[in-house]
A and B are shown apart, each in its own frame.
Chain A
Amino acid sequence: NAGVTQTPKFQVLKTGQSMTLQCAQDMNHNSMYWYRQDPGMGLRLIYYSASEGTTDKGEVPNGYNVSRLNKREFSLRLESAAPSQTSVYFCASSERINYGYTFGSGTRLTVV
């Protein structure tokens, strides 16, 4: 029972570099989400995929892109990293929209 698996767990990038955060769930959930968490800001939604084949912007989508590769996998890409993107990124999934979320263990990203 792996649940939601995120890779990598830690990453340091230089400004302008690109990278992709990977997320996979093994619970046959339909919906998947990417959040970022900054001190005092709670969890803010970046992008989500309500079902396989669809993606939509959340509260803070600028500077990010996503791909719902299949039902299991939902990746987040930073095309040109900026220091403002230093954060902890969480992937989550749910059986369907408005159901309880299962979160991954997070990726701690630092952009220098």
Chain B
Amino acid sequence: GQQVMQIPQYQHVQEGEDFTTYCNSSTTLSNIQWYKQRPGGHPVFLIQLVKSGEVKKQKRLTFQFGEAKKNSSLHITATQTTDVGTYFCAGPYRDDMRFGAGTRLTVKP
């Protein structure tokens, strides 16, 4: 089964509002990755977090890795219509990465 759980499953926001998705694991993760999949497209790698308490920013996107390395979050400030898509987190499991079910973001202009 899935190694990481994501919430919420869906999020609908007005353009300009903020958005956050959360990823949780019952076990300590050596790293966590985030991906974005546009509607009809394929997942695209965004970032990997490795250190406890790590925070990384990519323009309006802020990624955090929890102190206990069991949870992570992706926060988007002032959403735009280009942010539409499904955001996945992925945690390592043996030799591969196991993906959460994703958070589907829709943005109303």
A interface vs B, CB < 8 Å? 31, 33, 35, 40-45, 48, 50, 56, 58-59, 90, 92, 97-106
What is the minimal beta-carbon distance from A39 to any residue of chain B, in angstroms? 10
B interface vs A, CB < 8 Å? 1-2, 9, 30-31, 33, 35, 41-45, 48, 88, 90, 92, 95-102
**Contact between B99 and A100, CB atoms less than 8 A apart:** no
**Contact between B101 and A40, CB atoms less than 8 A apart:** yes
What is the minimal beta-carbon distance from B24 to any residue of chain A, in angstroms? 14
What is the minimal beta-carbon distance from B100 to any residue of chain A, in angstroms? 6
**Contact between B92 and A98, CB atoms less than 8 A apart:** yes
23 A/B residue pairs, CB under 8 Å, sorted by A? A33-B96, A40-B9, A40-B101, A41-B101, A42-B88, A42-B100, A42-B101, A43-B43, A44-B99, A45-B96, A56-B95, A90-B42, A97-B95, A98-B30, A99-B48, A100-B45, A101-B33, A101-B35, A101-B43, A103-B43, A103-B44, A104-B42, A105-B41
